[in-house]
């Protein structure tokens, strides 16, 4: 990641160690969280969480953000942090405005602030490694430790790392692996990202570590029962290859393909002809019981199409859970809309959805084109491309955007900001060691 990181030679080994340590701590914070291996047998998990907060988590998040911010202010690439700023300012500004209309504006505004910190922090996180090889080494070590923790849980704490019949919300998932994560779907997506990381580690640091990451992550992914992620990994590898080979297909694939995928999936919830077409193809037309949730989401958008309900202020709120809607549908108990694009519209109306698509879908296409012409490491660009493509397509079946805890959203941000750095940063080659009596210029 030299285009994003090797822009300054740190002459102190302690600085190298500090940056590496901060990299692993931040990665661990988002992937492991402060509450790994949650007990899914607690009845409270089925209760509304609106208004709830974790003071320790907030303190740690703010402290890490502060440390990253101090580092960024001293970095030569600080002008590229959290770009495009105008678009991000418009997006989070609109989130703020719509959150003022939420049932609990205070909680909604706190979540907006936390989401903004996560976005800025992710863009700074990529500046911590010194170059591509250092990035590959840190990613390899970090993912190997995280993968080891997941397997440790399965082997020595199965009641907290494998879904059980005693799980309150989804007992039918019993036997599926989830590791340190709260749900098998999150674990499946984490394993998908680990496979992409392993491919990069194979290419730029260690074939042995890369092969271990790929092999163990693939087996764990299979044991999660995450069929969507299992099918999407090879599909995204093929799609990324097509993106690199045929530039003219990028916009049709990213926008047209994503639109078509959502039309077929979400459209089956509201248009019977599409539901019949999907069923005729041998696909589960309910998309694992998501249809009821999507119908409720469409109903919510119809009532507030302009402003939505405020940032993360609709699902699992007391108004929804205890509003009597459970007589009509079980979907009032859903944790989210299981579609990040629908949730963007539910949270911030149609304008919010448009801003999200501009930032996360349209903008990275241009960044990719600039990255290819920058002369920066193509293997690193390929890693970010795979992460980004997986993220935007998986978001059609999971609410993965702006989820401040867990590995998925933070990793998607790495893909988005990584493409930006690859397109707008420039490799600065480290100088060779000076000969005796020779001046050193950095």
Residue 55 is predicted with a pLDDT of 83
CA 133 to each of CA 76, 144, 182, 262: distance values in angstroms, whole numbers, following the listed order: 20, 16, 32, 38
Residue 45 is predicted with a pLDDT of 46
Instruction: Give the list of residues 6+ apart from residue 231 with CB closer than 8 angstroms, or none.
Output: none
pLDDT in tens, 58-84: 899 999 999 999 999 988 888 889 999
Q: Could you give the percent of the chain with pLDDT greater than 90? A: 58
| Number of C-beta neighbours around residue 273 at 10 A | 9
Residue 424 is predicted with a pLDDT of 82
- Reported as a pLDDT band with limits 50, 70 and 90, residue 163 is very high
What whole-number distance in Å separates Cα of residue 43 and Cα of residue 255? 41
pLDDT in tens, 274-303: 767 766 666 655 566 677 888 888 889 999
pLDDT in tens, 3-37: 444 433 343 445 788 899 999 999 999 999 998 99
Residue 404 is predicted with a pLDDT of 85
What whole-number distance in Å separates Cα of residue 193 and Cα of residue 198? 9
pLDDT in tens, 88-126: 999 999 999 999 989 889 999 999 999 999 999 999 999
- Reported as a pLDDT band with limits 50, 70 and 90, residue 318 is confident
**Token pair in block for residue 288:** 């694992």
Residue 321 is predicted with a pLDDT of 66
Q: What sign has the CA pseudo-torsion 294, 296, 301, 307?
A: negative
Instruction: State yes or no: pLDDT of 268 exceeds 80.
Output: no
Q: For the chain, what is the mean pLDDT? A: 85
Instruction: Give the list of residues 6+ apart from residue 375 with CB closer than 8 angstroms, or none.
Output: 426, 427
Residue 14 is predicted with a pLDDT of 52
Residue 21's Cβ-side half-sphere holds a number of Cα atoms within 13 Å equal to 7
pLDDT in tens, 352-363: 999 999 999 999
Residue 167 is predicted with a pLDDT of 86
The answer to which of 2-11, 42-51, 292-301, 312-321 has the lowest mean pLDDT is 2-11
Residue 381 CA to chain centroid, in angstroms? Answer: 17
**Token pair in block for residue 173:** 């998932």
Residue 199 CA to chain centroid, in angstroms? Answer: 18
The residues that bridge with 177 in the sheet, in sequence order, are 162
pLDDT in tens, 362-405: 999 999 999 988 888 999 999 999 999 999 999 998 899 998 88
What whole-number distance in Å separates Cα of residue 333 and Cα of residue 320? 8
- Reported as a pLDDT band with limits 50, 70 and 90, residue 271 is confident
Helix/strand/coil for 194: helix
Residue 433 is predicted with a pLDDT of 42
Residue 115 CA to chain centroid, in angstroms? Answer: 12
What whole-number distance in Å separates Cα of residue 100 and Cα of residue 334? 24
Residue 264 is predicted with a pLDDT of 79
What whole-number distance in Å separates Cα of residue 99 and Cα of residue 118? 18
Residue 247 is predicted with a pLDDT of 87
What whole-number distance in Å separates Cα of residue 6 and Cα of residue 129? 8
What whole-number distance in Å separates Cα of residue 266 and Cα of residue 331? 15
CB 23, CB 29: distance < 8 Å: no
Q: Hey, where are the domains in the chain?
A: 2-129+226-424
């Amino acid at each position: 990641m030299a285009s994003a990181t090797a822009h300054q030679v740190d002459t102190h080994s302690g600085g190298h160690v500090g940056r590496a340590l901060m990299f692993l701590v931040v990665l661990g914070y988002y992937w492991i969280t402060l509450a790994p291996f949650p007990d899914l047998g607690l009845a409270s998990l089925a209760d509304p969480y609106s208004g709830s907060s974790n003071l320790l988590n907030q303190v740690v998040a703010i402290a890490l953000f502060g440390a990253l911010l101090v580092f960024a202010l001293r970095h030569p690439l600080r002008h590229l942090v959290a770009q495009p700023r105008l678009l991000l300012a418009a997006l989070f500004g609109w989130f703020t405005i719509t959150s003022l209309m939420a049932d609990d504006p205070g909680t909604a505004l706190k979540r907006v602030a936390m989401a903004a910190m996560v976005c800025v922090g992710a863009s700074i996180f990529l500046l911590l490694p010194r170059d591509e090889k250092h990035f590959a080494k840190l990613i390899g070590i970090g993912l190997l430790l995280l993968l080891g923790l997941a397997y440790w849980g399965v082997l020595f704490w199965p009641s907290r790392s494998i879904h059980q019949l005693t799980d309150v919300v989804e007992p039918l998932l019993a036997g599926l692996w989830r590791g340190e994560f709260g749900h098998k779907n999150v674990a499946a997506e984490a394993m998908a990202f680990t496979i992409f990381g392993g491919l990069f580690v194979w290419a730029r640091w260690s074939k042995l570590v890369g092969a271990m990451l790929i092999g163990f992550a693939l087996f764990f992914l299979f044991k999660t029962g995450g069929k969507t992620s299992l099918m999407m990994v090879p599909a995204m590898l093929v799609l990324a290859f097509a993106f690199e080979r045929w530039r003219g297909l990028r916009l049709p694939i990213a926008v047209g393909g994503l639109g078509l995928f959502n039309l077929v999936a979400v459209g089956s919830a509201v248009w019977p002809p599409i539901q019949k077409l999907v069923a005729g193809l041998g696909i589960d037309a309910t998309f694992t019981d998501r249809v009821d949730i999507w119908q409720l989401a469409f109903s919510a958008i119809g009532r507030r199409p302009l402003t939505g309900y405020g940032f993360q202020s609709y699902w699992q709120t007391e108004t929804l859970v205890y509003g009597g809607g459970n007589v009509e549908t079980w979907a009032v108990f859903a944790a989210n809309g299981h579609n990040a694009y629908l949730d963007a519209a539910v949270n911030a109306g149609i304008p919010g959805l448009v801003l999200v698509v501009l930032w996360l879908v349209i903008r990275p296409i241009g960044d990719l084109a600039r990255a290819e012409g920058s002369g920066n490491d193509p293997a690193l660009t390929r890693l970010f491309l795979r992460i980004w493509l997986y993220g935007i397509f998986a978001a059609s079946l999971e609410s993965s955007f702006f989820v401040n805890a867990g590995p998925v959203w933070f990793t998607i941000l790495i893909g988005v900001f990584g493409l930006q750095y690859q397109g707008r940063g420039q490799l600065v080659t480290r100088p060779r060691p000076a000969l005796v009596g020779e001046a050193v210029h950095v």
